[in-house]
Structures are given as structure tokens and as C-alpha cells.
Structure 1
Amino acid sequence: MRARIHTAIDGLLTTPPHKDTKAGLLYAACMANRPNDLSTLSRFGPVLQAVGASGTYESVVKAVATLHSNAGGSPLFSTAVRDSRVEYGVRVLRLDRPSLGMSRAGFRGRTCHDQAVQASYRQMLRAFMSIAQEAGLLRGTFWPDAAAAADAVYAFEERLQVFKTIGYKAWRAARDNMLPVASTTDLELPAAVLGMEGVQTPKGTAMVKYPAYFGALNKWIRAGVVGNAQNGRAVLQTYLAYKVTRSFAEADLLGPDATAAWWAYRMVVKGTKAPTPRLNRCASRVGDHFPIAVTAAFMAEYFDNSKAEFARSMVTDIRAATAAMINASDWMDGPTTAAALEKLAATEARVADNTPNGAEDDTTDIVIKPGDYSASYLSAATHDWRRQWHRLAAPRADRQANLRGWETNAAYSSSRVEIYIPAGILQSPAFAPSAPHALTFGGIGRTIGHEYTHGFDNRGRAYDGRGLAASWWSPESDAAFYAKARCLVNLFDGYVPPDLPASTVDGAHTLPENIADAGGIRSAWAAWQRRSAAGAVGPTNAVLSAKFSNDQLFFLGFAQTWCRRVRVERQAAKLKSDVHSPARFRAEGTLSQFAPFAAAFKCPPGSRYNPPTRCSLW
């Protein structure tokens, strides 16, 4: 479905009236063939060379700030703006560890795939160091060649991974910390970087997820970089050169050679044989930079008021079914049930919502130069950097989309207590009002129920109806929840992917999604049954009706949302990190625990989809 959406965006942005808008002009520049050109990258040479030449803390701060604010890969730490979990209506700055070139498993893994990823990553590093050298970013360093520079980057990222692990272990003990930014020594670097950019944090504090990481990093910069010309300075200069080169290559800014080096690595990671098509990359990129404009164009062409009304009526019915599901949970006591229903009533549903949010969505400062992709992209990227600071300075917005309106996904926000159902996912086959409605209730209806249930999974249940961290569960209901959830953990622990016989699904890691799947199918089914009983079954289809009952069509609508083709290497990587179970087990694990499926298809007692006992939570 995602490829279809990208193709639709391509059609919109290449024809009037959208062709001549900022979004259309950026898309045309992105799609145009470009020669190898390092001029955009070369302008970062002086600020990076200053790190190696002077080695002052100020030179480090200036270099890191320059890359953060100019799409340079967010080196050494990452930033985000979030709603406070302890004070309603307050925005907070979150400081987090940076993303690295590979995951922890990638650096330490010993499987054949892990080793292939490591070898490919080193090859990409050498290619990028050669590009950075040509662009003048490594001038002043003592590396004899690009290979030596690449080895230095690899070793430094291993060091950062150690720092990240230290931070993670400390976070497991203390969880999120609200710390004063300017007066906390460990936060000296991000405080100085944000100060250079003029960013003011509310009350002078930030949510610091991993303080121990920042402490280890700052200690290394002070001891290993400042005044250490022979090693630390050169290493940091080279690492920053790698980050900006990689970021620009990923954004298709440097020409075909850099793009080819990036995708040679990504194809090994993903287990694919070809890069993601440029059309898909450009459509997604422009949609990210101009979300309101692209979504408005998409909705005008592919989403009318009748579809919106039908989707909203489904949300109303499924919310009511979710309330009935909570009421029927006899393992919860009265006060906990009442609190759960109060939270559900407070949960807003954003259905095909494309409302702009003031300065945050104002793109007038983005300067698009027709035919100049690099300048246009960097203007848009700088706007995105500033946009988060608009969000930080502004009061809590009434509306803040968690997803772009054209995206083929849905989401639940535990901090805002909202579900998001974008227009992009309200498309056939999951959403098809012109087909028998059983298919749509099994498809997008299950998705709506899934998102509502996230408010009551093992993570969402930790927050109240205002999105604040709160303990609203009685001890007895809390114990009952986890006793019932253990059944799902054990069920999914037993699933073994056929192509990976030595691997299993991690039932504890995937528990939030498995709980949401179990609740989603129940609430969507209950809503469908009420409509069916009232005769509101929608259009008929002679071909389908000849073979399937409406109840069977409901489950077919559910099952077809999990049709996937995933390469073995990619699946192996996802098993280690993805909070979602593999698609086939999301189908089997959900339906085998839901008696109406066995009844609809007359599954024999004791068979895989009609077991003698079932997990029952929501």
C-alpha cells in the first residue's frame, strides 16, 4: 500500500496545480538526475578542521551545533520535544543518545548476517571517508588513507556503543530524569550546543533519558579531545565528517557515487536486492517536509467526505465496543474499571485530520530554488530543526499529528491520549466502503480497536486520561493483569519462524503489540456483530458471497492486512529489535485465541486455531 501512496503523491506533485508549489518544485529537484557534486559538503570543511587544529571545547561545540542545525546527522546526541509526563500542558526537551551506524547487535553480533553487515558497513565507511577526504573535511588529520580513517570511525562508534550501554544500564535503574541543563556538568556539551542555537528549555530543565551516557561522553571529550592533537581531535573531526557525509548521501545530496555506497550497505542490512526506488524516497521526503500541503492534495484526490464519515462512524462503534470489553473484564475491580472507562472516554480520535498547528506547520521560511535540490533540501531541513523549537516554546497544542496524513500507518499516543487514523491508511483493501463492510471492519476496524487497546497494554496502562504517569490500578487488578498477560508472553515465546528454526519470537518484548492485537480483534468484531444484526452489512459481492459468509469475510479482511514478503535476513534482524511479532504470528496468535474465528470456519477442536484453552485479557 505504501508504494501505491508514493505513486499517488508522484502523480499529484508532477501535475498542475501542485507541480508549481514548493512541494512540487522540491519533488522535481529531488527526482532529477544529478552528477557527483561535493560543493555542499565542502562548506563544512572549515568548522570541522577547526576541531582538529585548535582542539578547544568551543570548536567542538561549534562543529556539533553546525551539523545538528544543518541536517548533518545529529552527532553525539539527539533531541526531541515531548509532552511532560508529570505536569499537564507542559512541553519538555528530551536529550537522548545518538543513533549509530549499526545497532548494538550489529556491532557485537556473530551470526552470518551480522558479519555480512559489519563487512558492508566497513566498506561504506571507506567510501564515505574517501568522499569526505575529497571534500576537504579531513584536512589536517594524520590518516594515511581513507581506510585508516574508516577504521578510526568504526572504533569510535564502538566506544560510543559502550557509552550507550553504560547509560542504558543506569536508565534501567532510574528511568527518565528531569535535570537542570546548564548547571549539570554531564550535560555540558548539549547545553552549550543548544545555547549556541538560542534554544531555551522550559524551567531550564530537560528530560535526560541516559545521564550516564552524557557523563561518559563529556569526560572523554574533556580528557581525550581537548588538547589531544595526536588522537582525540583527529578522531572526533573524522567522526563528524562521517556523520555529515552519511546524512547527505542518504538524502541523495552528493550524487550517484555516494548514494550507491549508502544503498550497497542498506541492501545488506535489509536483505534486499535493489535500493528503494527514488520515487518512493522523494515522495516520502517531500511529504515529511510539507506534510500539510501534501496531505491536503492527497485527500482532495483520494479521500472524500463520505469516506471520512464512514471512518468516523466506525470509530464511534469501536470505541463503544471497547468500553463494553472493559466493562466485561471481570478480573478488574470496580474502581479500576471506572478509571479505565474514564481514560477511554478521554481518548481523542484524529481521523484523517490535517489541521495545521500554527507556527509549527508554517513553511513560509522554506526557500525552494527550482532545479537546486541541495539548497532547497537544506532550507527545508533547517526549517525542520527550527520547528521543534517552535513546539518547545509554545503551549500544548490542541492538535498535533503523530503521523503524516498521507502515511499508511496508525498510532496511539500515550502522552496525548489520542489515536491517529490518517487518510493514507484509509484506503483499499483495508478500508473499502464500497465493498462488503465485513472486510473493512476486519481490516481497518481491527486497526482502530488495536490503537484504542494500546491505552491499556502493559505500557499504556501506566498513564492516566491526561497522559500523565499515574498508578490508577488497584493492587489486585494489577496482579490479575500481569497474570493474564503472562499467557500471551508464553504463547508468542513458542512461535518459531520456519526459515529461522534457531530463533523464537520474544513474547515479553512484543507484549504491547500482542495485547493490542488481541483487544483490537475483539472490539472490531463486537462492533461488526452489532452492525450485522441491524442489517447494516454494506454492499454485496456476488463472487465473495458465493464462497464466504459475512463473518468469514471479516476474518479475511483481518488476515489480508498481514500479507508480507520479508527476507530471512531482515526477519532475523527484526526478531532482535522490533516490538511487533512477525506478521504470520500476529495473524495466528490473534485468531487462535479468538473463538469466533474457529466457529466461523468450523476449525476442529484441538486444532491449531481451536485450542482447548485460550489466553484472555481484554
Structure 2
Amino acid sequence: MSGLRILRARVVAACLFATAGPVWAVHGIDPSDIDRNADACTDFFQYANGAWRANHPIPQYMDRWSKRWESGELNKERVRDLLADMAARRDWPAGSPEQLSGDFYAACMDESHVDELGLKPAQPLLDEIAAIKARADVQRTIGRLHEIGVGVPFKIVVAQDLHDPTRVIAHVDAGGLGMPDRDYYLKTDQRFVEARDKYRTHVAKMFELAGARPAMAKQDAAVVFAFEKRLAEASLDNVALRDPHNEDHRTNFAGLVAQAPAFDWAAYFDAARIPREDLNVTQPKFLQRFAAELKSTPVAQWQTYLRWQVLNAAADALSTPFVEENFAFNGRYLAGTTQMKPRWKRCAEATDRQLGEALGRKYVEKYFPPEAKARMQEMVRNILLAMKDTIGGLDWMGEETKKKALEKLATFNPKIGYPDTWKDYRGLTVARASHWDNTVAASRWNTADERAQIGKPVDRGRWGMTPPTSNAYYNPMLNEIVFPAGILQPPAFDVNATDAVNYGAIGVIIGHEISHGFDDQGAQFDAQGRLANWWTPEDEKKFQARGQCVVDQFEGYFIEPGIHHNGKLVLGESIGDLGGAKLAWLAYRKSREGKEAEPTLDGFTPEQQFFLAWGQVRGDETRPETQRTMVQGDPHPVAKYRVNGPLSNLPAFRAAFQCKADAPMVRPDKDRCEVW
């Protein structure tokens, strides 16, 4: 995970709304997962993990499945067991991590009580919207919704100043859409036309559940869609959002007021306790559209829109009919899943989302030993050294740019496992009486915690993911690579595995995150995390040409006839995978110098095991519906091309499996992509 999208990821915890992993072969890859009927040099994705996928169909509640996804879901069983133990006791000190986490989980798990309450917990908020009489009331309600993480129709993102990352400022950002992105409202392809019809039906059903008659619900759904479409027309698309300059519009408070004078920014900032200092408007055109809506849209339509946004944000914290209808559109239709996750899993996820560091403290105590952190630290050091050697040896980059690149590399800050200082949830009250009330209280606390950073020097100890999360990220403004404890489990990482396997799995992920510091987004930030050009014009052109090679490669990857990857959208992640595989390979080879050769396993050399480890950890089976959604808006390619795409560019892969020059997994020299 990479780039400026982390600005948005940091507010996820404020929205209202990984037991041991699967048993892997001792100290190495599992040969039984390999499809012996496939050819490594034709389709390595199928070869490396095809037998595993054939024997492990996607669970009905998941939209994709692989050894790593299985590990992530099994990891939630660890979380569940911890939460169940904490929930079993009622004598924890008030405000302690155990009391907060245990009571939040217990209230969520009391499904009968949640169902008995129905819509009642959200009714005061809906009544407040129903009582709106004037545009000033609309504005106050927007502020109230923002307090509990419902960021509509705009949202405040708390992050560093793009030009002075030592400071934290407010970024006034676009929001307010109920579908995945703007193209769902605007594109004329049949799949988007169908999605719009399904969405209007979904919105109407939610209004009916909230008490509206069918005819009025349908009418209100049309109002919501028309309103959101106007917002979508003023929003940037996913490719444009990849260029940080497109979201760089620094201004002061007076400048903000001038851009959207119809909104009472002074009252909003005062109520939110946000200092009236320099800030950034990510999408001025969107802000202007918002201001126009305040002036021209009837108050009654604002009420309809806001009522929908509350129902949409709150659905999973309400009774079963709301949960099921929310799943019908977002899970069954958009993702292709046929069954909801069991309630315990949804409650574990909700607890982690809202109280991630309270829960995370208990998680790392039990499931992340010191030796695992030490092994990871060693691997990170080795892969950073591989990147240093790579930069130093580039024949296409001049010495001036190399110096700047090495300066940036030297300031990389790895974070492994968990924060050095845990959040103190002082002031947050969680009880067992109401899951809704707990969700709102935690959302309000997280929002206030984020807002409290504005105007202060950046706290480099804060994390953008919780410790149990099975993922990783790079933050360009902090120039940090972060690996939560949740991803440092088999098959991605095993403290007892061979170097070949660990470097081929988590090593490629480490290299991936390092490479993000030098992908199409990360390369625009300097050693201090500033959005600043440190390239000579000649080197920048060469870098862009190498990136275009990757764009062209992925434009040719189709998920089905007529639907292919957008090379510009997946450029950053694909540079990350390409660089990650190369860096991890170089670091692995370097780490084995002077040591006894690792064993051949079932006929597979250590070199082959390295690449098989990557193919097995990344070998997702993905539902067609999810693939379509990914191709539209996800900067990550689908798994098949995350495996085959980068490896087809690597001479080391060709040599390891002795592929012929014309094999599908070998790109011709004239087409071979290499950025780092």
C-alpha cells in the first residue's frame, strides 16, 4: 500500500462506520501447492499455487482467497480469542485496554439486543436531520456528522503539509459518494449503467427499512443519486488522484472562505476545534460544487441526502435487515460474495477498526515475539542495502540525481510490529448496553484524536494501521515503511523458515514498500518528505520512460474480453512489485554469501523456492465481480498479474527455471521493463 492514499487511510479508524497462519511446509515452500500440470515458464501464477487454489475454493464470505488471505482470516481467530477472553470478565479497570476492547466486542456480539433496538439508536440523529429548516441547520448537521466520522459531502483529512511535512494541517477533501468512485456515476459502459440501477434500488430499500413507503423511497433514492452524480462530476478520477500535484492547493483560512463562501467555515472550525491556520484544499472544483449545492439545492433534498448518508454509514451497526441489505449491494453485487462473514468476525474487525491499539497491545504480547521483530529488522536492513547498491549502479541516472536518491534512502524509517508508544484512550467510555452508542463514541474519540494533531509538529510515532492488520504501507511524507505484526505471520513471514522462503515472501513485500519511495508518486517527494522535485530534467525523462514501459505492459493484461488493466492506475504498485522482487532477490543472494547453501526441497533449488514463495503468498483466486471493481479503481493489479508481470521482467527468474527466450514468462529484451 502506498502513496498519498495513506492520507485517506489515516481517517479510516474515525469512520462511523492475522492463531498461527496455515501450516506451511517446515522451513520452506509447500510442494503440494504446485500445479505439476502447468509450466512455470508459461504461467507461473498457475504453476506456483494452482493446486492450492483448486483444493481451497474461495469461502462464500470472501471475495478472494490465497494462503495469505487465509492467514489474515485465521489471524482474526486470534483476535476473537483475545476479545472473548477480555469480554468474559467484567472487572477490568474502567478505561483499560481490556475493558474497552472486551465491552465493545461483547456489545457487538449481542445480536439479539441489536436487533431488538432496530433503528432506535440512530433515530435521534435522523430526527435532527428531519428537524432541519434552513441552510444554516444543514451546515450545523454536516459538522455534527463529521464529529462521528461521517465525512459528507466533504471531509477533513488530517495529515502533514505537503511542503513542510514537519507540520500537521487540515486537508479539505472530496467525499460524499455512496458508490466506489466517480466513474460509477458517469461512465456509459453497461456494467456501470447496471451498477447505477442496482444502487438506486439499494438506496430505496434502505429508505424503506427506515420507514418510508415504497413510492417515496424510490423518489428519495432518485434525489440521492442526482445529488451524488453532481458531486461525482466535480471529483477527480482515480488516475488523476495518483498525481499529488493535483491535490496540492495550499491556502489559508481566508482563502478557504473565498472558495466556498456559502459555508460558515468559522463556525465549523470553532466547533471542531480546528485552528484557523494554513490548510490544503485537495479538489477546488469539488469545493466549488459543494458551495453551489449549499446555495441552490432545496433544504428538503439536503435532508434526503444526509439521511441516506447516515443510513449508509451506520448500516453495519444496526439491526439485521440493515446489515443484510448493505451486504446485498456492497458484498453480493459489487464484490461477488454470496455469504456474510460470521458475526464474530465482523465484530472482531469492528473492534480492531475502532480500538486498534487497545486491542493491538494484547495481540503483540501474545503473538509477536521479540525474535520475529529482530529477524524482520535484519531483512529490512539487507533490502535497504540492496536498494543502495542498485541506485549506485544505475547506468541511466546521473550522479546528481543519484546523490539525492541516496539521501532519501538514508532517511527511510522502518516501523515493525507495533508502535513504540501506545495510544491512551483516555476520555472514551464503552459499555455493553449499545453497540451503536459504542461505535459513535469510539468514532467521536478517534475523530477528535486526529483533529488534535492539527497545528502541531508531526508525531512520527503514530501509525496508520493497527498492529493486528495483515498489510503494510509506505508514507511518502514521513518516508516510512510500516509492517504491522498482523502481516508478519506465515506464509508471508515465518521466523523458522529458510532465507529463500522469507526473502521470497515478506522480502518482496519489504522491497515493494521501499520501492514505493521511488515510484511515480513517491519519486516526487524528497528526503525530508516534501513534495519537491529532486530530479535533473534528463533523469526525470528517463525515469518516466521506464515507467511508461510498465504502463504499457499492464495495459495488455485483460481480466476478461474487453476489460483490461489501466496501466497508469496500477503504475505505482507495479513498480513496487517489480522493484520488490529484484531487491529481495539481490538481498537474499547477498545474505547467503559465505554461508552453506540452503537445501534443495523436493527437487526445487533455493533459487526456485524464492520465486515459488512469492507465487504462493500472492497467488489469490479472485471473484470476477471483485476483479471488475479492482480494474476500475484499485491501484493494485489482480493477483495473476502481480505474480507474472514483474517476474517476466527478471533475468533471475528465467535463469532459475531455465525458461527459453520465447517463453510467455520471458519478456523480450526490447520489451523488458526495469525501473530500479
TM-score (norm 2): 0.82
Give 2:593's aligned residue.
533
Alignment of structure 1 residues 340-351 onto 2, 5 Å: 340-351=405-416
Alignment of structure 1 residues 471-510 onto 2, 5 Å: 471-497=533-559, 500-510=560-570
Give per-residue Cα distances to partners, 1:399-424, cap 9 Å, x unaligned.
Answer: 12122111111111101000001111
1:197 counterpart = 2:197: no
1:616 counterpart = 2:674: yes
Unaligned runs of 5+ in 1: 225-231
State the 1:159 CA deviation: 2.2
Where 1:75 maps in the other structure, the secondary structure is coil
Residues 607, 94 of structure 1: alpha-carbon distance in 2 compared, 3 angstrom cutoff: same
Give 1:260's aligned residue.
324
Where 2:375 maps in the other structure, the secondary structure is helix
Where 2:170 maps in the other structure, the secondary structure is strand
Say if 2:411 and 2:527, in contact at 8 Å, map to a contact too.
yes
Say if 2:512 and 2:576, in contact at 8 Å, map to a contact too.
yes
1:317 counterpart = 2:382: yes
State the 1:363 CA deviation: 0.9
Give 1:89's aligned residue.
166
1:561 counterpart = 2:617: yes
1:240 counterpart = 2:314: no
Of residues 417, 440, 464 in structure 2, which corresponds to 1:378?
440
Task: Measure, in 1, the Cα distance between the counterparts of 2:578 and 2:231.
Answer: 39
Give 2:123's aligned residue.
42
More displaced 10-residue stretch of structure 1: 109-118 or 573-582:
109-118
Say if 1:81 and 1:94, in contact at 8 Å, map to a contact too.
yes
State the 1:202 CA deviation: 5.5
Residues 347, 577 of structure 1: alpha-carbon distance in 2 compared, 3 angstrom cutoff: same
Return the letter of the residue paired with 2:584: A
Give per-residue Cα distances to partners, 1:161-183, cap 9 Å, x unaligned.
Answer: 22336999999996421122355
1:435 counterpart = 2:491: no
Say if 1:407 and 1:425, in contact at 8 Å, map to a contact too.
yes
Residues 571, 301 of structure 1: alpha-carbon distance in 2 compared, 3 angstrom cutoff: same
Give 2:581's aligned residue.
521
Task: Measure, in 2, the Cα distance between the counterparts of 1:129 and 1:157.
Answer: 16
Of residues 623, 628, 632 in structure 2, which corresponds to 1:572?
628
Task: Measure, in 2, the Cα distance between the counterparts of 1:340 and 1:374.
Answer: 49
State the 1:111 CA deviation: 4.4
Give 1:155's aligned residue.
226
Task: Measure, in 2, the Cα distance between the counterparts of 1:609 and 1:167.
Answer: 30
Give 2:32's aligned residue.
none
Give 1:62's aligned residue.
140
Say if 1:166 and 1:213, in contact at 8 Å, map to a contact too.
no
Say if 1:12 and 1:18, in contact at 8 Å, map to a contact too.
no
Residues 536, 91 of structure 1: alpha-carbon distance in 2 compared, 3 angstrom cutoff: farther
Where 2:485 maps in the other structure, the secondary structure is coil
Task: Measure, in 2, the Cα distance between the counterparts of 1:244 and 1:479.
Answer: 47
Task: Measure, in 1, the Cα distance between the counterparts of 2:496 and 2:238.
Answer: 52
Give 1:8's aligned residue.
78
Say if 2:407 and 2:527, in contact at 8 Å, map to a contact too.
yes
Residues 536, 513 of structure 1: alpha-carbon distance in 2 compared, 3 angstrom cutoff: farther
State the 1:235 CA deviation: 0.6
State the 1:218 CA deviation: 1.3
Where 1:3 maps in the other structure, the secondary structure is helix
Give per-residue Cα distances to partners, 1:70-121, cap 9 Å, x unaligned.
Answer: 34x3221011111112124111100111141113222234445434432332
Residues 478, 395 of structure 1: alpha-carbon distance in 2 compared, 3 angstrom cutoff: same
Give per-residue Cα distances to partners, 1:325-360, cap 9 Å, x unaligned.
Answer: 111111111111111111000010001132236xxx
Alignment of structure 1 residues 65-80 onto 2, 5 Å: 65-71=143-149, 73-80=150-157
Say if 1:182 and 1:191, in contact at 8 Å, map to a contact too.
no
Where 1:558 maps in the other structure, the secondary structure is helix
Return the letter of the residue paired with 1:463: F
Give per-residue Cα distances to partners, 1:213-257, cap 9 Å, x unaligned.
Answer: 222221231233xxxxxxx1111111111111111113x2x2011
Give 1:276's aligned residue.
341
Of residues 176, 188, 192 in structure 1, which corresponds to 2:248?
176
Task: Measure, in 1, the Cα distance between the counterparts of 2:195 and 2:549.
Answer: 36
Give per-residue Cα distances to partners, 1:8-46, cap 9 Å, x unaligned.
Answer: 100111015885521011011112213252222211244
Unaligned runs of 5+ in 2: 1-70, 91-98
Task: Measure, in 2, the Cα distance between the counterparts of 1:322 and 1:166.
Answer: 32
Give 2:638's aligned residue.
582
Residues 12, 173 of structure 1: alpha-carbon distance in 2 compared, 3 angstrom cutoff: closer
Say if 2:644 and 2:665, in contact at 8 Å, map to a contact too.
yes
More displaced 10-residue stretch of structure 1: 82-91 or 594-603:
82-91
1:207 counterpart = 2:280: yes
Where 1:569 maps in the other structure, the secondary structure is helix
Where 2:279 maps in the other structure, the secondary structure is strand
Task: Measure, in 2, the Cα distance between the counterparts of 1:221 and 1:567.
Answer: 41
Give per-residue Cα distances to partners, 1:424-466, cap 9 Å, x unaligned.
Answer: 1110011012122211100000111111111111111111111
Residues 163, 193 of structure 1: alpha-carbon distance in 2 compared, 3 angstrom cutoff: farther
Say if 2:182 and 2:237, in contact at 8 Å, map to a contact too.
no
Give 1:548's aligned residue.
604
Task: Measure, in 2, the Cα distance between the counterparts of 1:66 and 1:200.
Answer: 14
Return the letter of the residue paired with 2:115: P
Residues 599, 282 of structure 1: alpha-carbon distance in 2 compared, 3 angstrom cutoff: same
Give 2:94's aligned residue.
none
Task: Measure, in 1, the Cα distance between the counterparts of 2:596 and 2:104.
Answer: 45
Return the letter of the residue paired with 1:147: K
More displaced 10-residue stretch of structure 1: 210-219 or 518-527:
210-219
More displaced 10-residue stretch of structure 1: 101-110 or 329-338:
101-110
Give 1:228's aligned residue.
none
Task: Measure, in 1, the Cα distance between the counterparts of 2:478 and 2:215.
Answer: 53
Residues 118, 174 of structure 1: alpha-carbon distance in 2 compared, 3 angstrom cutoff: closer
Return the letter of the residue paired with 1:155: A
Give 1:227's aligned residue.
none
In angstroms, what is the RMSD of aligned CA positions? 2.4
Of residues 364, 383, 398 in structure 2, which corresponds to 1:299?
364
State the 1:534 CA deviation: 2.6
1:328 counterpart = 2:396: no
Structure with the bigger RCO (C-alpha within 8 Å, sep 6+) is: 2
TM-score (norm 1): 0.90
Aligned length: 588
Say if 1:128 and 1:245, in contact at 8 Å, map to a contact too.
yes
Where 1:59 maps in the other structure, the secondary structure is helix
1:217 counterpart = 2:290: yes
Give per-residue Cα distances to partners, 1:499-545, cap 9 Å, x unaligned.
Answer: x121222222211111111111111111111222232767x6xxx62
Task: Measure, in 2, the Cα distance between the counterparts of 1:333 and 1:82.
Answer: 33
Task: Measure, in 2, the Cα distance between the counterparts of 1:534 and 1:165.
Answer: 53
